Copies of this chain bind each other. A is one copy, B any other.
């Protein structure tokens, strides 16, 4: 059971992405497969540069443009979600089975802590009902300084 949990997850992701590619008449290229693998090989939040660096380290030469293009497809297929960490560039995280969590970001060291909350979801429903909005997505981050950065200043 345990032994196969990782490969099972990989299969699920691979399957989702293949479905998506099929439905949209997109091809299963080396580049897309490698980017997918790399994205799902860790659970960190990542940006384009990090992903590029990780791929290059493995001698998987994929251009920056292709990473940007593939990330769009991963977002569109809901396999990946974009997160705002208060920096001036986009960060990403896995999306599958990881609903309803928000981010606490240390402005000093960049550490990211995830926290779950149902309150946010209830609040969103309440507000949208009041103003007759149909919600698409929300973005909530708390920026501050983490414990260790507080003491070292």
Contacts and interface: CB of A to CB of B under 8 A. Distances in A.
Given A113-B131, A115-B131, A138 B136 contact: no
Contacts of A128: 104, 142, 144
Nearest to A115: B127
B115 A130 contact: yes
A133 B117 contact: no
Interface of A: 84, 86, 104, 106-107, 113, 115, 117, 119-120, 123-124, 127-128, 130-147, 150
Q: Which of A120, A133, A143 is most buried by chain B, counting CB atoms within 10 A of its CB?
A: A133
Contacts of A146: 131-133
B133 A144 contact: yes
